[in-house]
Amino acid sequence: MVNLDKYFPMYFNEKITMSEDENIDVGLATKATPKTKKPKMYKVILLNDDYTPMEFVVHILERYFGTTGSQAYELMMLVHQKGLAVVGVFSHDIAETKVMQVTELAQKHQHPLQCTMEKE
């Protein structure tokens, strides 16, 4: 009898009868693939203030959130009228980066525009 699991124990796990006198261990090694979880998502929220020009907010929305001019204008008006608006939903790292980019550009231009993120 040839016992291959002695040489390759991780690959062979069952016996197949080749003849009445000999058995050969054969099988296929399989590894369970771990299931990946979807990342937790975060809302990026733009807050209204009385000093940041509307054109600057439109520029932010086009530049960092990929909106068209008309979409950016509608979102800016929503922020202006409601006091805040969700401008995108992203994974944690991307949301954090977008908040940082908006905040830094607003500070660079001396605008008090605020941008935050919260778990969805």
Domain spans of the chain, in order of start: 1-33, 41-119
CATH fold label, 41-119? Ribosomal Protein L30; Chain: A, (3.30.1390)
7-37 confidence digits (pLDDT tens): 665 555 555 555 555 555 566 667 778 888 8
| 31-54 pLDDT, tens digit each | 778 888 899 999 999 999 999 999
State the Rg of the chain over Cα: 29
Residues of the chain with pLDDT > 90: what percent? 69
* Contact yes or no for 109/56 (Cβ under 8 A): yes
What's the rounded Cα separation, in Å, for the pair 22 and 32? 31
Give which of 48, 56, 53 is closest to 116, Cα–Cα: 48
Residue 76 predicted with pLDDT over 70:
yes
pTM of the model: 0.70
Which carries the bigger pLDDT value, residue 74 or residue 6?
74
- The C-alpha atoms of residue 71 and residue 35 are separated, in whole angstroms, by 37
